[in-house]
Structure 1
């Protein structure tokens, strides 16, 4: 890692400490390597509207790292199959794959260049647990997933409608949102249970964030 990356490394490690995340040096290297790849590919392929490296660090990496502790808590120490819907440049899927190395993670996106980028990330960062699919989620052919997640993908109602067939019988949905989406919560179908709306504190970000946890009603 070159000298110019050291300030970002320090900020990443400080953010991990604030989130009570123990990030081994190899994981820090991979996360910073991912950020570097995102910046380089973004210059040509427009993967994200965020251009500044420091803003990418906070708005992308820190934002997704904030979901890892509650995600691990929900998993109760077990390996989980994760589907990241509308993954774009791999958020949060890449971050989950880096920090939960024994969890198979599939990122699906309708834009081919974004799926190609995630494949490149998996190859360059040596993440055998990370896979990318270029497809519409409603046509994706895959085994059921324990956790189906999304970040800025669609309304909650559309999210659960499009992915319900891909959710394992005891699986859960985890939607990353900004402020509590009360209007969207009110539009969910009657057979979907919201069992937790979890506020998140993202280091360095002065904006509301939350996780909406859902499951089919039994």
Structure 2
């Protein structure tokens, strides 16, 4: 049975049902029976809680992210996103839910270089079919809060520094105030100073939106920014306090 409060037209974006932001139950995924298997007995994060997922290349981090995003479905078990049974949805409904409820910051950022800063952010609104006027206002507010005032809005993404591009990527991911934000190794190419600045901005803006962050990295130094961690080498322990 689905447990979900569907948002009606005109509802404020801040209205969210009172369920865990993300919850996994007896999750199992394998590419072929008897082969490599990802198994997580239980994982639950409330709204605004942030999780650091640590693991080396080949440990299953990407597989886990694909499951959390609804790109891949589990062979067994359950994935609940804000009260919605993600594992029971059709591919098209998973696509729609991902557009509105899951923000992603990629390692390569994936900005469109010839589009303006504002248009790059508003692309998310188009995919989520969110109200244009409200999203225009929120995009401007987010960019301003991230240090990119109106003099940047019409600049092409290709004209920005790497640090500024990262802030645009954060604004885009948080535009619809998603339940979940997934950050996939976004700091791997940064030096220590830029890495720390990025972490502070990302988590600060996520807190303002009430968004749960799942941050994936092989860099154990980033663990200090999080209250919870999940080690890919010890999935049976689930989420543990840092």
Query: So what's the TM-score if we normalise by structure 1?
Result: 0.30
Based on CA coordinates, which of the two structures has the bigger radius of gyration?
2
Identify the structure with the greater helix proportion. 1
